[in-house]
């Protein structure tokens, strides 16, 4: 079994993702998801950080 370090987790923010893909066709969205999966599997975190809806590491929760 293969496990990743917590710091290497890739998170997608659904609200930001759907807002960013609002004008895309389903085919374009599918291609984007394929590209994101490829980058995540390749552990290219620097490339993934360019997307505002992608978080790398442990997500943080703000406490009021």
In a domain, 63, yes or no: no
Domain extent at residue 39: 6-56
Task: Single out the residue of 2, 1, 10 nearest to residue 46, CA to CA.
Answer: 10
* pTM for the model: 0.75
CA angle 12, 57, 10 (to 5 degrees): 35
Counting every residue written for the chain, the total comes to 64
In a domain, 62, yes or no: no
Per the structure, the count of domains in the chain is 1
Q: Which two tokens stand for residue 46?
A: 């620097």
What's residue 8's pLDDT?
Answer: 76
In a domain, 20, yes or no: yes
List pLDDT tens digits, range 2-58: 555 556 788 999 999 999 999 999 999 999 999 999 999 999 999 999 999 999 887
């Amino acid at each position: 079994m293969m496990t990743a370090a917590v710091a290497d987790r890739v998170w997608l923010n659904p609200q930001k993702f759907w807002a960013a893909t609002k004008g895309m066709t389903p085919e374009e969205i599918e291609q984007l998801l394929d590209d994101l999966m490829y980058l995540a599997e390749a552990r290219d975190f620097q490339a993934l950080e360019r997307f505002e809806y992608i978080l790398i590491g442990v997500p943080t929760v703000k406490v009021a």
